[in-house]
Structure 1
Amino acid sequence: MSQYAVLIYHDDSAHAPDATPEDTASCDEHADELEAAGSMVLAYALTPRHMATSLRPGSRIPEPFVPDGPIVAGFYIIEAPDLEAALTIAATNPVLQEGGGVEVRPVHSGGLVEH
């Protein structure tokens, strides 16, 4: 099985520190479905835009900025036999019905680093 990263883009993340279960229900249900299907390898929800700091070429610390437009709200790694199957799995992400988008990329290399 190959691994694919699914990057979730939206105007902001639903996973604020004060988020309620209702705020994150569609995300949590989707993750539970992928886990039950045996597709999910790992998943990370990112915090909202106001908690992010972006650096670009030419940026000098401490002069960060918060970007406009869609941001990466989270990502997960799935296992699928091929890209077509990975796209089929990614197409079930609820963000697509909520005005956001996803990007699917084959994972080249990596893994958890032991400390």
Structure 2
Amino acid sequence: MTQYAVLIFETETGTEPPPEVMAAHQELPARIAERGGRIVAGLALEPSTTATVVRDGLITDGPFIESKEMLAGVFVIEARDLDHAMELAGLTPVLKGGVEVRPLAGFFTDPS
């Protein structure tokens, strides 16, 4: 199985997601497993106002780019192929935004 990053982009509202969205995220590993995939890892990010950027040796507070949607979290999934990864990524609960799927290059491997 190939690993893919599922990048979750959301419009920041300054409020916590509704309980039903959080519940849907909690159920996501089981829903993906039912379809033959697996979540390897999943992380939510703090709001973009907490971001710090390092570019060309300069440190700047705030998000990297100006956008209506900010990177809100990432899952690493295992899927048979890109079509399967897209199907699984489509299960991701998103309020106002979308997901981006990218194959992982695999520079580092876990020795365990």
- 1:48 alignment partner AA: P
Per-residue CA distance 1:50-76 (angstroms, 9 max, x = gap): 22223334x623x43334322211101
Percent of aligned pairs with the same amino acid? 35
Q: Kindly indicate whether the alpha-carbon contact (under 8 Å) linking 1:55 and 1:65 is maintained by their aligned counterparts in 2.
A: no
Q: What CA distance in whole angstroms lies between the structure 1 residues aligned with 2:13 and 2:109?
A: 24
Q: Kindly indicate whether the alpha-carbon contact (under 8 Å) linking 1:10 and 1:71 is maintained by their aligned counterparts in 2.
A: yes
**Residue matched to 2:44:** 45
Q: Give the Å deviation of 1:91.
A: 1.0
2:62 to 58, 65, 68: 65
- 1:105 alignment partner AA: R
Q: Kindly indicate whether the alpha-carbon contact (under 8 Å) linking 1:13 and 1:73 is maintained by their aligned counterparts in 2.
A: no
- TM-score, normalised via structure 1 length: 0.71
**Residue matched to 2:25:** 27
| Unmatched 5+ stretches in structure 2 | none
- 1:103 alignment partner AA: E
Q: What CA distance in whole angstroms lies between the structure 1 residues aligned with 2:49 and 2:111?
A: 28
Q: What CA distance in whole angstroms lies between the structure 2 residues aligned with 1:27 and 1:104?
A: 17
**Residue matched to 2:2:** 2
Q: What CA distance in whole angstroms lies between the structure 2 residues aligned with 1:39 and 1:6?
A: 12
Q: What CA distance in whole angstroms lies between the structure 1 residues aligned with 2:81 and 2:25?
A: 24
Q: What CA distance in whole angstroms lies between the structure 2 residues aligned with 1:33 and 1:104?
A: 17
Query: Aligned-residue CA RMSD in angstroms?
Result: 3.0
Q: Kindly indicate whether the alpha-carbon contact (under 8 Å) linking 1:13 and 1:46 is maintained by their aligned counterparts in 2.
A: no
More strand by share: 2
Q: What CA distance in whole angstroms lies between the structure 2 residues aligned with 1:29 and 1:13?
A: 23
| Unmatched 5+ stretches in structure 1 | none
Instruction: Kindly tell me the number of residue pairs found equivalent between the two proteins.
Output: 107
Q: Give the Å deviation of 1:21.
A: 7.8
